[in-house]
Amino acid sequence: MRTVALFDLDGTLINTEPRNRAAWSRLFRRHKVPHDDDTLRGFAGRPGKEALADHLHSFRGHTLEELHAEVVSYSEAPDLPAVEPVAGALDLLARLRRQRVPLGVVTSGPRDYARAELAALGVLSAFDVLITADDVTRGKPDPQGYLAACAALKAEPARTVVFEDAPAGISAAKSAGTFCVGLTTTQPAASLTGADLLLPDLTQVPWPLLTPTGPAPSEPSPVG
């Protein structure tokens, strides 16, 4: 049975985490709500509204919709960090396409956002399936998105390799029954517990990662 590859978007294919953290930090500062690095890390890999709902009690007098719209407006500000592809992302996608590996994206972002970011990289057409926050009722760490992608590709989760950068995404991937590669692009290695393999980015990805009987033999993870 064929192996498929599924990718998270933010922090995995594109380096948006500095921009996202700056936007969330600006929201907290503008409303004089105390926050720290742990607070901001809690937004990584989760749907924005779901993560923000955990802090809604601190933004008195404001609705979830108002605050989410505000942070989206900040993310488009020209003074925030620019978005670039994660190192090795474009080369890896090209390599997998040449090998006819089915590809998908499973992101906590909305569909319009995901399509725009992938189109800006010139890789939108490379993917066979795109699962976004608009397609699920429960976001990461729930496995619903990854299971939906597997179903759309007619792939067994056990024959699926997922690339993720955040604890919530790794939890979702493992709960779905997939092999998960954790990237330390946005989080320290110690935070990515549960990943089957840790890599610093997408420049050192061995392929195939799965054999018909399970994970392929590989060198020890280069991330300690």
Return the active site residues: 8, 10
Q: Which string of b and e fits 29-51 if b means at least 16 CB within 10 Å?
A: eebeeebeeebbbbbbbbbbbbb
The secondary structure of residue 198, as a DSSP letter, is: E
d(CA 153, CA 157): 10
d(CA 79, CA 76): 9
Give one word for 23, left, alpha or beta, with left for phi > 0 and alpha for psi -120 to 50.
alpha
Helix axes 167-175, 144-152, angle to 10 degrees: 50
